[in-house]
Structure 1
Amino acid sequence: MSVEQAAAALRGAQQVVVLSGAGMSAESGVPTFREAQSGLWEEFDPSRLATPEAWQADPPFVWAWYAWRVGLVRDVEPNDGHRALAALARTHDVTIVTQNVDDLHERAGSEVLAHIHGSLFEYRCGDCGVRYDAPVEVPSEPVERLDPPTCQACAGDVRPGVVWFGEDLPMDDFQASVEALESLTKGDVCLVVGTSGIVYPAAGMPAIARGAGATVVEINPHESDISDMCDIVVRGSAATTLPALVAALG
């Protein structure tokens, strides 16, 4: 299907909900979860670095890897796809729900309703849960251990604000995402950008939009597990297709 078909759907939309996945950020050069397992970290299984059990066993070890990932994300810039969504929000009511733990949507100028898998940049205490907003040390080179910051409320170790294997999604973000999708009506659009459709419950979100009557548009260079539930499928990358889509709107 064509960009023009997707643009035609957007022209009549009162609301647009964007569901973005890893493909949205990959074109900015953000390393995927496993790509960050390089150099010093390549010998370690990610499951040793992204579970509550790993954190409890060795906080400095886990914190060092996440601090390294923070540095990698800070070194890249939003791509044209991120910027196109920010431009779209100037003419449409756009709500962004992302599975990505980076801040590229925000740096491109968009407001994000929900990071349903958490964020690398929203630190909190691993003991009392209080948010930690002070600056954190980011190593210029990977190190095997780095002491995490200390919570100012209870003196516990500050942890990354991401969702680890075995943890529940942040309920407020997830509920807000579902409510945004359920508020869509016939003529509205759900844009699904760069997601594989494998990870649940995020993979079930396009079905909520479709059930509400919205037109579901997938933008992805590859077929995904949700392609067959989309009304319009545009095969292309986020960084090239989204700017073309916004341009087609005039």
Structure 2
Amino acid sequence: MTAGQDVAVPNPAERDHTAELERAAELIRAAKALLVCAGAGMGVDSGLPDFRGDEGFWRAYPPYARLGLRFVELADPEHFAGDPELAWGFYGHRLALYRGTEPHEGFRLLREWGDRVAGGIRVFTSNVDGQFQRAGFTGIAEVHGSIHHLQCADGCGDDIWPADEVAVPVDSDTMRARPPLPICPHCGALARPNILMFGDFTWVPRRSQRQLDALQEWRRTQRDLVVIEIGAGLAVPTVRRQAELASAANGALIRINPREPRVRHGRGISLPLGAREALTRLDAML
């Protein structure tokens, strides 16, 4: 090397992470049960938007950029009372999008890993898209609810019903729904998705709580549990906290996140990769 010649400094983002993947694969091989904790990043490889920041949301939904509307403003239950066509325009479009999206290969791999362990596999997710059900999973706890289920927007009761027969036409220019809008079968008022929204005091949590209770009961019976956290960011840390809590006893946490992979206090393995890439590479090592 001559004087003044630049020295190449390795970029951590360009590492192949083989050593971390091998450690993670070893954990999975030794597991007696698997818990998947999934955030919005899990669906990105299926083509779903993750709504990360205003710019990311507007790239996914250009009409809202023109209107100057942010995700946190649209994911607000007040719109169902004040402007139901706007509210159902957003959620009706998402309902159709999620119904038409096929889960990526990583979902299948996870399910196959769960079939190999004695305690099976369970899922804790903040996603409302139903991708895990579509991929054939059972034992799913949807902490923020599901777009595939509805409740009364007027709060006539705590009933929750499937949205299987609901189709909401949406004007692609204005992103407003065209009537008729979904209604409550009990009182005839407007219906809304059974999703926990921002500033939401009318969400009916009964279905999600039943799922969470079942997950907690399962966890109490499992030893050598390995937690695989995928695509869960810090902005809404519900999934990360659950993953850290569930792995607190043994530190058997695998965090898959291309943007925010850091594991606190070294209690786990960090994989700064996308969901499908990380799961595919792990599967090759099992």
Letter in 1 for 2:160: R
In the alignment, the residues of structure 1 paired with residue 186 and residue 110 of structure 2 have an alpha-carbon distance, to the nearest angstrom, of: 38
Q: TM-score by structure 1 length?
A: 0.86
Counterpart in the other structure of 2:142: 115
Task: For structure 1, list consecutive stretches of 5 or more residues without a partner in the other structure.
Answer: none
| SS of aligned partner of 1:82 | helix
**Which 10-residue stretch deviates more, 28-37 or 103-112?**
28-37
Residue 178 of structure 2 aligns to a residue whose secondary structure is coil
* SS of aligned partner of 1:90: helix
Counterpart of 1:75 in structure 2: which amino acid? G
Deviations 1:36-74 (A, max 9, x none): 762433322323321222222222220121001112223
Distance 1:129 1:221, change over 3 A: same
Partner deviation per Cα, 1:213-232 (whole Å, 9 max, x = no partner)? 35111122233464555421
* Residue type at the aligned position of 1:144: R
Identity of aligned residues (%): 28
Give, as a single letter, the amino acid of the residue that structure 2 aligns with 1:95: R
Partner of 1:96: 123
Give 2:83's aligned residue.
58
**Cα pair 1:80 1:240 within 8 Å, conserved:** no
Matches within 5 A, 1:166-181: 166-167=199-200, 170-181=208-219
Q: Is the 8 A contact 1:227 1:233 kept in 2?
A: no
Matches within 5 A, 1:138-153: 138-139=168-169, 141-142=171-172, 143-147=175-179, 148-153=181-186
Instruction: Indicate the residue corresponding to 2:167 in structure 1.
Output: 137
Q: Structure 2: where are the runs of 5+ without partners?
A: 1-18, 52-56
1:203 partnered with 2:240 = yes
2:43 aligned partner: 25
Matched residues, number: 248
Aligned equivalent of 1:220: 257
1:241 maps onto 2:278 in alignment:
yes
Secondary structure, in 3 states, of the residue corresponding to 2:132?
helix
Return the alpha-carbon distance in structure 2 between the equivalents of residues 229 and 181 of structure 1.
Answer: 23
Which residue is 1:83 aligned to?
108
Please tell me whether Structure 1 or Structure 2 has the larger radius of gyration of its CA atoms. Answer: 2
**Given the superposition, is the C-alpha separation of residues 230 and 24 from structure 1 closer, same or farther in structure 2, using an over 3 Å criterion?**
farther
Aligned-residue RMSD, C-alpha: 2.5
The 3 A distance-change label for structure 1 pair 223 and 184 is: farther
